[in-house]
Amino acid sequence: MTKNIKIAVGLIYILCLSLILYGFFIFIDVTQLNDYIYIRDKTQFLIEIRDQHLLLFTTLFFLFSILWILLLGFASPISLIAGFLFGKFFGTLISVFGFTIGCTFLYILANQYFKELIFKKLSGRISKFKDMFNKNEFLYFMIFRFAGGGGIPFAIQNLLPVLFNMKVKNYFFSTLIGLFPMVFILCAIGEGIEKIIENNVDPSFYTMIQNKEILFPILGFFTILIISFLLRKIYFK
């Protein structure tokens, strides 16, 4: 990768991230995040915009999801927001496809321009998994996704297949299927929080635990954590 391309990619990354942070701090006053009334008003404002411009709002959120993952962002908060704004079913579809496309773009970009750097930084840590992934890259990467990446941060998970020279098609579909269960649970929690705020109830911990629309997804979340722990013990020691 030439020095000019590295500089260009770095500048684009910094510019995009700066614009996202600027927009966030323009819209949100972080000093008011402990004020329930402030949070309720902001969320109602977003819901009104969604209802008035559903197609445009959905498209922008979908594109933002792709860009956010491409910028090495975390998936969990976007899943919660998607469930809050679109409900657990539609929110899951938007999130999973947005994340999968963003992950795939990131993988292609990294495989094209950052392969040497990734090999230098990461190859020694997971070389023992190379033979396993090469036997059935689709199956093992899907399990890897479902198991939460063995505790590896999401952004790093997206880059690891560069070490195995994974096929783009297998990367896309194993990510799509592997992310689905956890994203659905997070979207369900987001939908439950939206209903609590919609009913003008102070979302305290006790209130949320009493609400079955939040309690059941939380139980599902811990169930997946247990299953992920077992999968990590079996496949990713």
Residue 29: exposure state from Cβ atoms within 10 A (0-12, 13-18, ≥19): exposed
- State whether 166 and 65 are in the same domain: yes
Q: Per-residue pLDDT tens for 110-163?
A: 888 778 877 877 766 666 667 677 778 888 888 888 877 767 788 888 888 888
Residue 124: exposure state from Cβ atoms within 10 A (0-12, 13-18, ≥19): exposed
Q: Any residues with CB less than 8 A from the CB of 17 and at least 6 apart, and which?
A: 71
pLDDT at 178 over 80: yes
Confidence of residue 43 (pLDDT cuts 50, 70, 90): confident
Confidence of residue 182 (pLDDT cuts 50, 70, 90): confident
pLDDT at 237 over 70: no
How far is it, in rounded angstroms, from Cα 218 to Cα 229?
Answer: 16
- State whether 140 and 52 are in the same domain: yes
Which residue range forms the structural domain that includes residue 15? Answer: 1-30
pLDDT at 10 over 80: no
DSSP sequence for 141-166: HHHHHHTGGGG--HHHHHHGGGGGT-
- State whether 104 and 8 are in the same domain: no
pLDDT at 6 over 90: no
The total number of structural domains that make up the chain: 2
Q: Per-residue pLDDT tens for 50-101?
A: 888 889 999 999 999 999 998 888 888 899 889 888 988 999 999 999 999 9
- State whether 95 and 20 are in the same domain: no
Residue pointed to by tokens 């990768």: 1
* Percent of the chain with pLDDT strictly greater than 70: 73
- State whether 123 and 207 are in the same domain: yes
- State whether 53 and 21 are in the same domain: no
- State whether 6 and 77 are in the same domain: no
pLDDT at position 33: 57
pLDDT at 227 over 80: no
- State whether 142 and 53 are in the same domain: yes
- State whether 13 and 112 are in the same domain: no
Higher-confidence position of 38 and 101: 101
Higher-confidence position of 83 and 31: 83
Span 16-25, mean pLDDT?
A: 73
Q: Which of the listed ranges 27-41, 186-200, 203-217 does the model predict with the highest average pLDDT?
A: 186-200
Q: Per-residue pLDDT tens for 203-214?
A: 555 666 666 666
- State whether 205 and 99 are in the same domain: yes
* Percent of the chain with pLDDT strictly greater than 90: 19
- State whether 169 and 223 are in the same domain: yes
- State whether 51 and 94 are in the same domain: yes
Q: Any residues with CB less than 8 A from the CB of 94 and at least 6 apart, and which?
A: 58, 61, 62, 65, 82, 86
Q: pTM above 0.85?
A: no
